[in-house]
Structure 1
Amino acid sequence: MTLALLIGLAGGVGSALRYLVDQAVVRLLADRDRGLPWATFVINVTGSFALGTITAAASTGALADDTRLVLGVGLCGGYTTFATAMVDTLRLGLGGRRGWVVVNLVGPLVCCAAAAALGWWVAA
């Protein structure tokens, strides 16, 4: 039960962090044509990097399994946002921006996989 509470608390911290990063990216790009939903992209790529690092550290024994769960499932789970990425993609499509739909589906997939691999490489 204690582990579940720690994971829940870490998820709350991850969600708050996601909000802060989202707001920072939106402010940074406020006067520019954003095209893609860049805040969601940045959040998911950095979260993938963090999860890759956490997973690699756990696989080498540098992180205890409970710590991996709190950081990976809780913090990264609360921080990253697949559902928002899909809603953003739907909004692009409904707005007639079909080319951006493809970019928003493929780009984050490639970049998140690369970020996770880089995180693994850094930690291993």
Structure 2
Amino acid sequence: MSLWVALAGSLGALARFVVDGEIRNRRSLQFPWSTLVVNVSGSLLLGILMGLVLLHDADRRLEVVLGVGFCGGYTTFSTVSVETVRLLEEGRYRAAFFGALGTLVLAVVAAAAGFGAVRLMS
């Protein structure tokens, strides 16, 4: 099982790298859009996954391999923290506030939306 988690985590990290790069190529670096998108989309995916496991009796190994592995490798709380500190150091308090709080709120909403969407499938 550990090997599958490690492989899924590697794929998640690779997916984060690709998504981050694509967004950075298209958006200004004045706000950490790529990190926001990664964390919100990863939370949505995790919400869907948890809904499948908890409401539809999907194999619990999916929770471990895809939840811990892929989603854990894809999402990044540490980057949110570093980007928030960077914005604070630059005196960009509003961007720091909305980046940190926005990520938290939107990630929770996305996870709930994913879980709710699976619940509707019941």
Q: TM-score, normalised by structure 1?
A: 0.92
1:10, 1:61 → 2: CA distance? 22
CA displacement, residues 62-107 of structure 1 (integer Å, 9 cap, x when unaligned): 4201111100000000000000010000100111101111111111
Unmatched segments (≥5 aa) in structure 2: none
Q: Decide which of 29, 34, 38 is 1:39's aligned counterpart.
A: 34
Superposed displacement of residue 35, structure 1: 3.3
Superposed displacement of residue 52, structure 1: 0.4
Correspondences of 1:1-124 after superposition (within 5 Å): 3-29=1-27, 32=28, 34-124=29-119
Q: TM-score, normalised by structure 2?
A: 0.93
Unmatched segments (≥5 aa) in structure 1: none
2:63, 2:56 → 1: CA distance? 10
Runs of 4+ in 1 over 6 A off after TM superposition: none
C-alpha root-mean-square deviation of aligned residues, in Å? 1.0
Is the partner of 1:96 in helix, strand or coil? Answer: coil
1:39, 1:62 → 2: CA distance? 33
